Amino acid sequence: MELLPKCIFITGTDTNCGKTYAVVELLKHYSALKPRMIAIKPIASGASSKDPLTNGDIAALSKVQGHADGDTINAFLFQPAAAPHILAQHNNTPLNWQIFDRGVNKLLDLQHWQQAFDVCLIEGAGGWRLPLNNQETLDQWVGEHKMRVVLVVGMQLGCINHALLTVDSIQNSGAELIGWVANHVVADMPYVKDNLQSLKELIKAPMLGEIQHNGAYESVTDIKI
């Protein structure tokens, strides 16, 4: 499997942990800095039509990057909001590593990003261990490419357990965890500062930033490329 270099995979502790919010904020933060970044979301579910821009995540990535065409960001779109591998089976549109690989490389080629940008953020779907079919999972694909990974932690009750389980799985996959982002998905999480401190001490990778519940992004440290 061939993949253009300097890609960072963005994963999360669960569905709705705020991966897209994090990617958007990282793109904004680095817009005037190096590394220069673009972002794609190869696989997504939940749209009102076959137009990728009717998916909220793809629309958000398109808006922040000034794209008019969602096909430069997304390769595999399923209209119902459900597990992509199940939708792929029902639609007789099989997914596997090779098909996913071709889709990602097509998006990167459409972007011509290697001439103008330093890094492409590849946003995953759902959590870390997303099935592509009943034998292959997306995390295996990421590990096969020995990709660098940023983890988005949805700050809510249970997040420490979810984060540590995901961190262990990333490290055991062959991928490299290069940092994590805390996203305050609830407004009034009890003992939120204590939870953050525990995550900082337990995750052996730098905290890159923090997204407040009002959407404001606070950078803590920059990604090392």
Which residues does the annotation mark as catalytic? 41
Q: How far is residue 219's CA from residue 67's CA, in Å, rounded to a whole number?
A: 25
- Spatial CA neighbour of 152 closest among 84, 113, 205, 86: 205
Residues with Cβ within 8 Å of residue 185, at least 6 apart in sequence: 16, 17, 18, 154, 155, 156, 213
136 CB-contact burial (10 Å; exposed 0-12 / middle 13-18 / buried 19+): middle
DSSP 134-178: SS-BHHHHHHHTT-EEEEEEE-STTHHHHHHHHHHHHHHHT-EEE
The token pair at 148 is: 């660098």
Report the Cα 98 to chain-centroid distance in Å: 19
Strands 217-219, 207-211: parallel, antiparallel or unpaired by DSSP?
antiparallel
Residues with Cβ within 8 Å of residue 125, at least 6 apart in sequence: 41, 43, 44, 45, 84, 138
Q: What angle do CA 184, 120, 165 make, to 5 degrees?
A: 45
